């Protein structure tokens, strides 16, 4: 077993490094969203294709999070964390010097690999290296670091994109990454070594990866290539076959990547699905809003970044007191109100008109911030609480996996619906006429409204214990 680090200075330094790592991920996630319209225009591509700058990142996180989590837990936590910082930092450099969309997406894939390593290792570092009375502090640093980074991202990304170049939203990660690598070699205790007699479920990992990649590709590209295109059909078949083979493999595996036994409770299944739909709808909304601000409201990147600060700031201010409140009462009501707020926010943007554009946007962003503040802790906690006691550790990892997979699928789905309804394949968003843009935007917002409304009903159907 690896030793628990109890020295005060050692704990502080390790928590500081963890904070840097998760803040980098948070900044990167929200800054890239603000820059997407400029990236699309700069590289001469349409909004749907530009979505792969985001989709590829979240897709890799979802596909590899559980694998790296298993590796870290079984004795390689420092190696996973330090290597993750190195991969993320190097990929940030590649993103920053990208001169084509293909190069940028390839670099984002690599960056997603590094981010999945950091997201997997950071919580396990808390469990393995912190004394019990410091676990709450450790997980709080992870949440705070990501939240602060995500809150700063829109303003920072908008400023850098408007006054320097979109490349700088990636280049700013480099000094942070280098500092993190140097500090982590001292701050994180050495690995005790891989546990003897334990091996990774490589077959399950490969099948899960194949299922996610082919499924997300088929979902987003179907609006461009057509659902009857041989490539789309082949990817759909690969996704279905991989999913079926993954289920069979995990049932037989002694140490599965994902323990399917947790899905024996219908309450857990419904709560997890509602949580998944909520994250899909939110991420799709976040992907399209900068394009709406650019094309319909005429905002530049800096102004868009300031407007997009509204949700994370509201969440940052309110999430802790509301989270404590939810700990003292039933979480079901918090989830219902939160999911309803998201539904209302999406509905407002579906009904938006030229006269109400700015006011509706502010109202929608406020409701989005309230939605995340209300459910930030309650929704994820409810996923854990509705499963059997034996699977609560696994359910926690499953909730993280569900978030990243929903981010990839939500962005892909909204991109596909926007492209199909707007007829924008191959057309940069700035070159679309307002009517075509709004046709695509409203179609995607309507789909998100329906998804989040279903999440409200499903969440209400399961009563707390």
Question: Mean pLDDT in runs of 10 for the chain (465 residues)?
Answer: 51 80 82 86 83 88 86 81 93 93 93 90 76 63 72 83 90 90 83 62 87 89 82 92 91 80 80 89 89 89 87 77 67 85 94 88 92 73 71 68 87 88 72 84 94 92 77
Asked if residue 195 is part of any domain, the answer here is no
Same domain, 343 and 461: yes
Identify whether residues 312 and 444 lie together within a single domain: yes
Report H helices in 253-331: 266-295, 301-307, 310-327
Q: Please report how many Cα atoms fall inside a 13 Å half-sphere around the Cα of residue 279, on the Cβ side.
A: 21
Q: Which DSSP state fits 353?
A: -
User: Which one of 256, 272, 293 terminates a domain?
Assistant: 256
Of the chain, the end-to-end C-alpha distance in Å amounts to: 36
Nearest to 447 by CA among 273, 226, 280, 220: 280
Note whether 62 and 171 are same-domain residues.
Answer: yes
Answer yes or no: are the C-beta atoms of 301 and 38 closer than 8 Å.
Answer: yes
The domain boundary residue, chosen from 211, 234, 256: 256
Q: Are residues 322 and 360 in the same domain?
A: yes
CA–CA distance from 434 to each of 249, 301, 353, 384, 420 (Å)?
A: 50, 19, 11, 44, 15
CA distance 431 to 440: 14
Is residue 196 a part of any domain in this protein?
no
How far from 231 is each of 53, 227, 239, 428, CA to CA, in Å? 21, 9, 12, 24
Residue 443, domain member (yes or no): yes
Report the CATH number that the domain containing residue 23 is assigned in CATH. Answer: 1.20.1250.20
Neighbours of 290 (CB within 10 A): 28
pLDDT in the model for residue 3: 47
- φ, ψ of residue 356 to 5 degrees: the values are -105, 10
Domain of residue 33: give its range: 1-190
Residues 227 and 344 in one domain: no
39 and 164 belong to one structural domain: yes
Q: Are residues 302 and 438 in the same domain?
A: yes
| Burial of residue 175 (number of CB atoms within 10 Å: 0-12, 13-18, 19+) | exposed
25-43 burial: b if 16+ Cβ within 10 Å, else e: bbbbbbbbbbbbbbbbbbb
Number of domains in the chain: 3
- Whether 338 and 427 map to the same domain: the answer is yes
Tell me which of 159, 190, 221 is where a domain ends: 190
pLDDT computed for residue 211 by the predictor? 92
Residue from 261, 256, 307, 281 nearest 459 by CA: 281
Is 169 in contact with 104 (CB distance < 8 Å)?
A: no
Output b/e per residue, 202-220; b: 16+ Cβ within 10 A. ebbbbbbbbbbbbbbbbbb
Q: What values do phi and psi take at 234, rounded to 5?
A: -65, -45
Task: Classify residue 376: in a domain, yes or no.
Answer: yes
Instruction: Indicate the burial class of 53 (C-beta count within 10 angstroms; 0-12, 13-18, 19 or more).
Output: buried
Of 241, 238, 242, 258, nearest in space to 250 by CA: 258
C-alpha angle 319-323-325 in degrees, rounded to nearest 5: 125
**Could you tell me if residue 319 is inside a domain?**
yes
Spatial neighbors of 241 by CB under 8 A, at least 6 apart, are none
Q: Please state whether 98 falls in left (phi above 0), alpha (psi between -120 and 50) or beta.
A: beta
In a domain, 84, yes or no: yes
| pLDDT for res 281 | 93
CB 409 within 8 A of CB 219: yes
Residue 79 CB burial class (10 angstroms; 0-12, 13-18, ≥19): middle
What is d(CA 243, CA 385) in angstroms, rounded to the nearest whole number? 26
- pLDDT at residue 91 in the model: 95
At residue 132, the pLDDT reads 62
Give the C-alpha separation, 311 to 292, whole Å: 16
246 belongs to a structural domain: yes
SS3 content of the chain, % helix, strand, coil (to 5): 80, 0, 20
pLDDT at 400: 77
Q: Are residues 183 and 94 in the same domain?
A: yes
Burial class (CB in 10 A: 0-12, 13-18, 19+), 77: buried
- Supply the pLDDT for residue 396: 65
Examine the domain organization and report whether 237 and 321 are in the same domain.
Answer: no
Quick one: 6 and 112 in the same domain?
yes
The answer to whether residue 50 sits within a structural domain is yes
In 3D, which of 95, 68, 92, 70 has the Cα closest to residue 181? 92
Which of 141, 117, 142 minimizes the C-alpha distance to 60? Answer: 117
User: Do 426 and 281 fall into the same domain?
Assistant: yes
Structure tokens at 321: 């007191």
Half-sphere exposure of 130 (CA within 13 A, CB side): 22
What is the C-alpha separation between 84 and 127, in angstroms, rounded?
18
DSSP reduced 3-state for 192: coil
């Amino acid at each position: 077993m690896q030793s628990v680090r109890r020295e005060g200075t050692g704990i502080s330094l390790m928590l500081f490094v963890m904070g840097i790592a998760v803040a980098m991920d948070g900044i990167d996630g929200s800054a890239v969203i603000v820059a997407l319209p400029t990236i699309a225009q700069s590289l001469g591509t349409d909004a749907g294709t530009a979505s792969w700058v985001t989709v590829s990142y979240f897709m890799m996180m979802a596909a590899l999070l559980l694998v790296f989590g298993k590796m870290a837990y079984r004795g390689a936590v420092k190696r996973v964390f330090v290597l993750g910082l190195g991969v993320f930092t190097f990929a940030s450099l590649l993103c920053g010097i990208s001169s084509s969309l293909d190069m940028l997406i390839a670099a984002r894939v690599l960056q997603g690999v590094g981010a999945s390593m950091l997201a997997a290792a950071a919580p396990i570092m808390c469990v393995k290296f912190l004394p019990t009375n410091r676990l709450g502090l450790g997980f709080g640093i992870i949440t705070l670091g990501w939240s602060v980074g995500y809150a700063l991202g829109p303003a920072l990304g908008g400023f850098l994109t408007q006054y320097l170049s979109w490349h700088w939203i990636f280049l700013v990660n480099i000094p942070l990454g280098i500092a993190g690598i140097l500090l982590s070699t001292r701050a994180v205790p050495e690995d005790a070594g891989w546990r003897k007699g334990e091996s990774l479920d490589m077959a399950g990992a490969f099948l899960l990866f194949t299922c996610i990649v082919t499924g997300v590709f088929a979902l987003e590209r179907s609006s461009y290539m057509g659902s009857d295109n041989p490539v789309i059909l082949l990817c759909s078949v690969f996704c279905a076959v991989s999913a079926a083979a993954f289920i069979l493999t995990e049932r037989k595996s002694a140490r599965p990547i994902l323990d399917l036994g947790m899905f024996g409770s219908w309450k857990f299944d419904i709560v997890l699905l509602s949580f998944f739909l909520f994250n899909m709808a939110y991420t799709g909304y976040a992907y399209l809003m900068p394009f709406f601000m650019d094309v319909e409201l005429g905002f530049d990147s800096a102004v868009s970044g300031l407007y997009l600060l509204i949700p994370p700031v509201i969440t940052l201010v309110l999430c802790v007191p509301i989270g404590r409140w939810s700990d003292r009462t039933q979480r079901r009501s918090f989830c219902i109100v939160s999911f309803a707020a998201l539904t209302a926010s999406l509905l407002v943007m579906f009904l938006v008109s030229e006269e109400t554009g700015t006011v509706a946007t502010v109202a929608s962003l406020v409701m989005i911030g309230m939605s995340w503040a209300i459910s930030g802790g309650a929704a994820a906690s409810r996923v854990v609480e509705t499963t059997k006691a034996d699977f609560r550790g696994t359910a926690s990892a499953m909730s993280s996996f569900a978030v990243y997979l929903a981010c990839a699928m939500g962005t892909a789905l909204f991109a596909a619906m926007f492209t199909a309804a707007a007829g924008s394949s191959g057309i940069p968003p700035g070159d679309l006429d307002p009517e075509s843009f709004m046709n695509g935007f409203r179609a995607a917002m309507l789909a998100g409204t329906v998804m989040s409304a279903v999440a409200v009903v499903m969440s209400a159907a399961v009563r707390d214990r």
